[in-house]
Amino acid sequence: MAAKLYIGLMSGTSLDGVDAALLVTNGKTFKVKHSHFLPYDKALREELLDLHGIGTNELERVALTGNKLSHLYADAVQRLLEKSAVSGPDISAVGCHGQTVRHRPEAGFSLQIFNPALLAELTGLTVVADFRSRDIAAGGQGAPLVPAFHRAAFSHPSINRVVLNIGGIANLSYLPANGEVTGFDTGPGNMLMDAWIMHCKQKTYDENGTWAAGGRVIPGLLEQMLDEAFFTMAPPKSTGRDLFDLEWLQAHLNPQYQAEDVQRTLLELSALSIASAINQYCGNAEEIYVCGGGAYNLCLLRRLRELLHPVKIELSDVLGIAVNTVEAAAFAWLAEQAMLRRPGNLPSATGAKGPRILGAIYAS
């Protein structure tokens, strides 16, 4: 099969912007050739955050914001094409996740907003969208969807590996050398830390985990947060801002807490919930590869290495895909699966009744 080019677009729960990746693939093997990041401006980020809660005139606001996102996605595609010196007609399809504003699989839906028809018009390219609905219709969580890609990209014939994506929410894929691949959300990754530093310092994230590193864990607060039922649920499971948001955090806070101690405790919550999930469900793991924005949090990585010693923890870069590109590459791969009419989900990760072809195709 001749090599083809696909573009993947991912804007995750961190609400920082759009990652775009150009994937070259022959249907069996693939490589990320180029990537590009386009940040959200402050107004768009605030509008998306607001749409996570109940408000007035939501239908119109979702539609208008979806159109705005589609123009931003089209800009990301154009910049990626320019960077890679590739022309539009060479692209087989664009896989676009959209921006999640509700994730309620227990109620039968997960809502990612943008306008795929508009994106197809703006780019002149075939667009594959709405990846989660079919899995949810088949009884799954619609998430995480990346374990199938992780299996294709990172599995090893003789080494048990974990791929840990630390975005707003942390999720993992367990890739045993022999046995069934599994995956699930472990709980907050960067989300609560980002929300708290924005609340206290008007910064979008804690660079290198420096602010958290200057604080101390508050044992009582950590214990209260770990009492959240999600942490003891067995996989498959998924979560998002519908549960772990600033309001959830503030319900646990005491006015006497120091802000930097809260931040350190939130980092500990992320680290402990990740480590606990790996120890409980990936007990034979020999190697862990980290991707997502949390891979840049040096304090968090240091704590994970302490908690999971002696398991080797490295960044996904060493396996050939940069930490900030993995999820965008996954949606390029999922677009290819849809175009080839191949299943894109892993029922062992999502809980669906069986393999399903994911995505709706908007032809160019």
Percentage of the chain lying above the pLDDT 70 cut? 100
276, exposed or middle or buried, with CB in 10 Å at 0-12, 13-18, 19+? middle
Per CATH, is 147-319 categorized as 3.30.420.40?
yes
- Give the model confidence (pLDDT) of 315-328 as tens digits: 999 999 999 999 99
Report the alpha-carbon distance of residue 122 to residue 127 in Å, rounded.
11
Q: Is the pLDDT of residue 1 over 80?
A: no
**Distance from chain centroid for Cα 286:** 23
Please enumerate in sequence order all residues whose Cβ is within 8 A of that of 321, keeping only pairs 6 or more positions apart, or say none. Answer: 32, 153, 291, 329
How many whole angstroms separate alpha carbon 225 and alpha carbon 241? 15
- Please tell me the class of the 4-142+325-362 domain: alpha beta
Residue 236, φ and ψ in degrees, nearest 5: -75, 140
Whether 198 has a pLDDT exceeding 80, the answer reads yes
Task: Kindly state the average pLDDT of the residues 200-205.
Answer: 96
Q: Which residues pair with 36 in a beta bridge?
A: 20
The angle subtended at Cα 329 by Cα 327 and Cα 335, nearest 5°, is 105
- In this prediction, residue 317 carries a pLDDT of 97
Render pLDDT for 53-112 as a digit per residue (tens, 0 to 9).
Answer: 889 999 999 999 999 999 999 999 999 999 999 999 999 999 999 999 999 999 999 999
- What's the average model confidence in pLDDT over 187-205? 97
Partnered with residue 7 across adjacent β-strands are: 22, 94
Please report the pLDDT score of residue 128 as a whole number. Answer: 98
Distance of alpha carbon 280 from alpha carbon 282, whole angstroms: 6
Q: Are 40 and 15 in contact (CB under 8 A)?
A: yes
Does residue 98 contact residue 69 with C-beta atoms inside 8 Å? yes
pLDDT of residue 66: 98
Pairing of strands 109-113, 360-362: unpaired
CA 193/CA 203 separation, integer angstroms? 11
Using a pLDDT cut of 90, give the percent of the chain over it: 96
Whole-number mean pLDDT of the chain? 97
- Residue 282 near residue 171 (C-beta atoms within 8 A): no
Q: How much is the average pLDDT of 232-236?
A: 97
Same topology for domains 4-142+325-362 and 147-319, yes or no? yes
List the chain domain ranges. Answer: 4-142+325-362, 147-319
Q: What is the pTM (predicted TM-score) of this model?
A: 0.95
Q: What are phi and psi of 285, to 5 degrees?
A: -60, 135
